[in-house]
């Protein structure tokens, strides 16, 4: 039986292309040199830049202090919920001194929707006190100083440095770690080791935007349980292609977020 190419559906053409891709990807992953890895990682970053040209910090803030507070609240909580909570909080506590002198019960009530509100309230009060005592109420702009502040770990410090001070930083959250391991950029599990490993692959000036792009991709396409491999812009460079549905229609239904139409168009749908 002969097949008329004109009758082959877009769906089956994409499926066939995808199968070829996975073979190439797994071969490439087995034989990849260090230079090859650097090139592939940078190519993937460029592809992500096309997929998510508006990638940004999804926490709302106008000052370094607001970003620090929002980042503390974002632990175990979605950015959307944090953003619903912070307008009233920022209006009530505009300065570090306001947090330092906050009534604990009142502060807890304001941030209760973000979960773990008792611990978070304690962190914010301690943070306010440390900022007033050590830095005249201002956020310092260096990693060493930031990580010495109560409630501020390396991840929070990188968010603040990258987004409030314009200092390149790699933010290793749960999405970032999962994705870069799937991509074979590193096998490390420890966030600090992941940060250093990725920092050796990607140009420093790209670090902050790379972090946003990877996190965007993790939230919208490369989900923890069912990644949308069949419509993923990174398919040809991803050694994990195929751990999620490769059928384009099935995969398309898994894509989330406002960029969905753009992402599916890039995948040829
Ligand atoms: S969605 Fe699939 S192909 Fe895309 S990055 Fe994730 S694992 Fe790789």
Q: Give the Å distance between the CA of 183 and the centre of ligand 1.
A: 8
The model's pLDDT over 18-42, given as tens digits with 9 standing for 90+, comes to: 443 444 444 455 689 999 999 999 9
Q: Is the CB of 59 under 6 A from ligand 1?
A: no
Q: Is the CB of 234 under 6 A from ligand 1?
A: yes
Q: What is the pLDDT along the chain (269 residues), one digit of tens a residue?
A: 333 333 334 344 344 444 434 444 444 556 899 999 999 999 999 999 999 999 999 999 999 999 999 999 999 999 999 999 999 999 999 999 999 999 999 999 999 999 999 999 999 999 999 999 999 999 999 999 999 999 899 999 999 999 999 999 999 999 999 999 999 999 999 999 999 999 999 999 999 999 999 999 999 999 999 999 999 999 999 999 999 999 999 999 999 999 999 999 999 98
Q: Give the Å distance between the CA of 256 and the centre of ligand 1.
A: 14
pLDDT at residue number 11:
42
Q: What share of the chain is helix, strand, coil (3-state, %, to 5)?
A: 65, 0, 35
> In whole angstroms, what is the distance from residue 249 CA to residue 15 CA?
10
Active-site residue, selected from the candidate residues 79, 173, 226, 247: 173
- The ligand 1 atom nearest the CA atom of 227: 1
155 an active-site residue? yes
pLDDT at residue number 30:
60
Q: Which of 18, 185, 241, 248 to mutate to test the pocket of ligand 1 (most atoms within 8 A of CB)?
A: 241
Q: Is the CB of 228 under 6 A from ligand 1?
A: yes
> In whole angstroms, what is the distance from residue 70 CA to residue 68 CA?
6
CB-CB contact of 230 with 253 (8 Å): no
79 an active-site residue? no
Q: Is the CB of 232 under 6 A from ligand 1?
A: yes
CA Rg value for the chain:
21
CA-proximal residue: ligand 1, atom 6 (nearest)? 222
> In whole angstroms, what is the distance from residue 151 CA to residue 19 CA?
47
pTM of the model: 0.85
């Amino acid at each position: 039986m002969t097949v008329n190419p004109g009758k082959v559906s877009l769906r089956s053409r994409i499926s066939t292309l995808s199968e070829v891709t996975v073979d190439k990807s797994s071969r490439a992953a087995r034989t990849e040199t260090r230079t090859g890895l650097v090139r592939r990682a940078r190519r993937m970053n460029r592809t992500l830049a096309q997929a998510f040209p508006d990638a940004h910090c999804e926490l709302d803030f106008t000052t370094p202090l607001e970003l620090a507070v929002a980042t503390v609240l974002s632990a175990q909580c979605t950015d959307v919920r944090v953003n619903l909570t912070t307008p009233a909080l920022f209006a009530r506590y505009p300065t570090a001194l306001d947090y330092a002198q906050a009534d604990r019960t009142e502060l807890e009530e304001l941030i209760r929707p973000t979960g773990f509100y008792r611990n978070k309230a304690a962190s914010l009060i301690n943070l306010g006190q440390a900022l007033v005592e050590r830095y005249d109420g201002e956020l310092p702009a260096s990693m060493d100083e930031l990580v010495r502040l109560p409630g501020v770990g390396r991840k929070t410090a990188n968010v603040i440095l990258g987004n409030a001070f314009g200092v390149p930083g790699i933010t290793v959250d749960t999405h970032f770690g999962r994705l870069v391991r799937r991509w074979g950029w590193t096998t490390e599990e420890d966030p600090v080791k992941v940060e250093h490993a990725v920092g050796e692959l990607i140009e420093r000036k790209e670090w902050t935007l790379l972090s946003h792009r990877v996190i965007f991709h993790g939230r919208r396409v490369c989900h923890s349980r069912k990644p949308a491999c069949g419509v993923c812009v990174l398919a040809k460079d991803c050694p994990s292609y195929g751990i999620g549905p490769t059928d384009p229609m099935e995969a398309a239904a898994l894509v989330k977020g406002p960029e969905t139409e753009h992402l599916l168009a890039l995948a040829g749908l």
